[in-house]
Amino acid sequence: MAGEDIAAGGSGKLVVKNIGLILSGDLARPILDADAVVAIDGRISAIGCARDLDFSGAATTIDANGAALTPGLIDSHVHPVAGDWTPRQNQLGWIDSCLHGGVTTMISAGEVHTPGRPRDVVGLKAMAITAQRCFSNFRVNGVKLHAGAPVIEPGLQEKDFAELAGAGIRYLGEVGLGGVKDGPTARKMVAWARKYGINSTIHTGGPSIPGSGLIDKDVVLEADTDVIGHINGGHTALPDDQIQCLCEQCKRGLELVHNGNERAALVTLRTAKELNQLDRVILGTDAPAGSGVQPLGILRMIAMLASLGEVPAETAFCFATGNTAKLRALDCGLIEIGRAADFVFLDRAQHSAGKTLLESVGLGDLPGVGMTVIDGIVRSHRSRNTPPATKLPSIVPG
Ligand SMILES: [Zn+2]
């Protein structure tokens, strides 16, 4: 298993030059007028034109060779269990495979595939804290997996949320996957979670597998989680009028997942666009699941929404980067000074009908990933999973 004990820490100075296009992750200004980025010890320290920046003393220099740079992609919805193994499809290496699809950060929506997962209060707290510890101590090839997402059950008290937050828990698992399926109880517990700084999400729509249940728009609105988890269903979506109602009647995040209903994702996107609230749209895969793991799931969502949803490709990249970082309180996701130096190098796939990266994505083609960087450290080179990129970055010999 490719992994590492954390404590990488100071990676020194990283210089990235000859960037053909910088996608910022910020909806307000998705393309930056710059061709170089500098990071020190894993944090972005400068962005601009090469002639204006100080490249001296670099520990690592990457020549982008004209490829594009985006913030590392964020998958807002995964279900990890242990290290890089998932029992859902009995698969090894799924997180590393997603890194090759440009994903550098993942958020657990609950470790619900853990065989025999406890549902009593003491047990579910212990499991969440264990998962939080395990995934922060051991990162698969540097991928930041924010795990330890407890699924609420009847009997939880306010003091339990205080205890969980104190132990480092930052996210709730999907409300509705446990015994709490009614609006009033969910609302009370979600408010406790929020009081202690724990960000929340909910399972929206029909049951995903035998044993999970229906959560309709009334429960979603009453629960008032920070994110409306898979508003396009996981897999079974709510009727269109309920989706539109959710978009219109609250301000919470609208999460679109790959393992959901694609038509319902487009309904959501169209509604958010009409409301001029594209900043609420974020992306996830909801993998591993019955549909398996999609290493390119986030890139596929970006290409699907850009090509069928009539939003510019650079906007669609924001759904998987800056939007998610803002709604999920992460320090990555934007090409901005002070943010984590998590990057993906992309270019149009060889032989795409699109002449540029953005044009190719707008036509629905997947881009090629040429390299990933997490915390200022190169984690992967040419992707083994995407189509081959036309322009590839390279490390300048020191
Ligand atoms: Zn779900």
Whole-number pLDDT of residue 114 = 97
Question: If you measure from the C-alpha of residue 76 to the centroid of ligand 1, how many angstroms do you get, rounded to a whole number?
Answer: 12
Q: Which amino acid is at 154?
A: P
Q: What separation in Å is there between the alpha carbon of 111 and the centre of ligand 1?
A: 12
| Domain ranges for the chain | 4-70+335-395, 73-295
Question: Is domain 4-70+335-395 annotated with CATH 2.40.50.140?
Answer: no
Distance 67 CA to ligand 1 centre (A): 36
Beta-carbon contacts of 33 under 8 Å, excluding residues fewer than 6 positions away, are none
Indicate the length of the chain as a whole number: 398
Report pLDDT for 10: 65
On whether the CB atoms of residues 78 and 284 are closer than 8 A, the answer is yes
Q: Concatenate the DSSP letters of all residues of 48-105 into one string.
A: E-GGGS--TT-SEEEE-TT-EEEEPEEEEEE---BTTEETTTTEE-HHHHHHTTTEEE
Nearest-angstrom CA–CA distance, 354 and 341: 29
> How far does the centroid of ligand 1 lie from the alpha carbon of residue 16, in Å?
38
Cα–Cα distance measured from residue 213 to residue 203, given in angstroms and rounded to the nearest whole number: 9
Q: What's the pLDDT at 209?
A: 76
Cβ neighbors of 28 (< 8 A, separation 6 or more) are: none
pLDDT for 380: 97
Predicted pLDDT at 4: 55
Cα 337 to Cα 323: distance, rounded to the nearest angstrom:
17
Please give the pLDDT value at position 7: 45
Query: What is the distance in A from the centroid of ligand 1 to the CA of 317?
Result: 23
Helices then strands, counting H and E runs in the chain, come out as 11, 21
Measured in angstroms, how far is the CA atom of residue 271 from the centroid of ligand 1? 22
pLDDT at 148: 98
Ligand 1 centroid to 209 CA: how many Å?
9
Instruction: Name the β-bridge partners of 254.
Output: 228, 281
| Beta carbons of 66 and 18 less than 8 angstroms apart | yes
**pLDDT for res 188:** 98
Distance (Å, whole) CA 263 – CA 168? 37
Burial 23-62 (b: 16+ CB within 10 A, else e): bbbbbeebebebbbbbbbbbbbbbbeeeeebeeeebebbb
Q: Give distance in angstroms: CA of 93 to centre of ligand 1.
A: 22
How far CA 304 is from CA of 167, 195, 380, in Å, comes to 39, 37, 25
- The pLDDT assigned to 1 comes to 41
121 three-class SS: helix
- Class of 73-295 in CATH: alpha beta
Per residue of the chain (398 residues), give pLDDT as tens: 445 544 445 689 999 999 999 999 999 999 999 999 999 999 999 999 999 999 999 999 999 999 999 999 999 999 999 999 999 999 999 999 999 999 999 999 999 999 999 999 999 999 999 999 999 999 999 999 999 999 999 999 999 999 999 999 999 999 999 999 999 999 999 999 999 999 999 999 988 777 777 899 999 999 999 999 999 998 899 999 999 999 999 999 999 999 999 999 999 999 999 999 999 999 999 999 999 999 999 999 999 999 999 999 999 999 999 999 999 999 999 999 999 999 999 999 999 999 999 999 999 999 999 999 999 999 999 999 999 999 999 999 97
pTM over 0.95: yes
Gap from CA of 57 to ligand 1 centroid (Å): 47
pLDDT for position 5: 46
The pLDDT value recorded for residue 203 is: 96
- What separation in Å is there between the alpha carbon of 307 and the centre of ligand 1? 26
Distance 377 CA to ligand 1 centre (A): 33
The region, left, alpha or beta by phi > 0 then psi within -120 to 50, assigned to residue 362 is alpha
